[in-house]
Amino acid sequence: MPATTALLCDLSASDYDEILALWRRAGLPVRGEGRDAPAEFARQMARGIQRVIGFREDGRLVAVAVLTHDGRKGWINRLAVDPAWRRRGLARRLIAEGERWFVQDLGLEVWAALIEPHNTASLALFEAAGYQRSDILYISKRLRPGA
């Protein structure tokens, strides 16, 4: 694969359609009536606990990650790279920028990612970046399906 000159950028709610299109190209499930709905995405951005970063190559969004925190722990969510741009180090660079933000800007010492068990490529990526699997079980309660 050729090297990339992709530029890191911060994204906003106005980039929603482009982010959604990238998630779909990358095969991420989208909860369009729930937490991924346009109004919900904008609300999350406005709360100040979410930062969305990405890489653009010639103006096109080719990688994205949603970074969140709860004041104690940082989370790397919804990391996606366009299939045509994979294996060029963009995902690792997104992880590194997320970690930099958590430590330098927020003073957080713990950060994590949730990865579905079948997503072996993401598991390998995060393990190569120094993340360790945990015995903690993630459980959730939803007010409605699709949330």
Q: What is the pLDDT of residues 41-82, one digit of tens each?
A: 999 899 988 999 999 999 999 999 999 999 999 999 999 999
Strand partners, 11: 52
Q: Where are the domains of the chain?
A: 7-128
Q: Looking at the predicted structure, is the pLDDT value of residue 94 above 90?
A: yes
The model's pTM:
0.90
pLDDT category at 3 given cuts 50, 70, 90 is low
| CATH class of the domain defined by 7-128 | alpha beta
> Is it the case that residue 1 has pLDDT exceeding 90?
no
Q: Which of 21-25, 115-119, 142-146 has the lowest mean pLDDT?
A: 142-146
Can you count the helices (H) and strands (E) in the chain?
4, 5
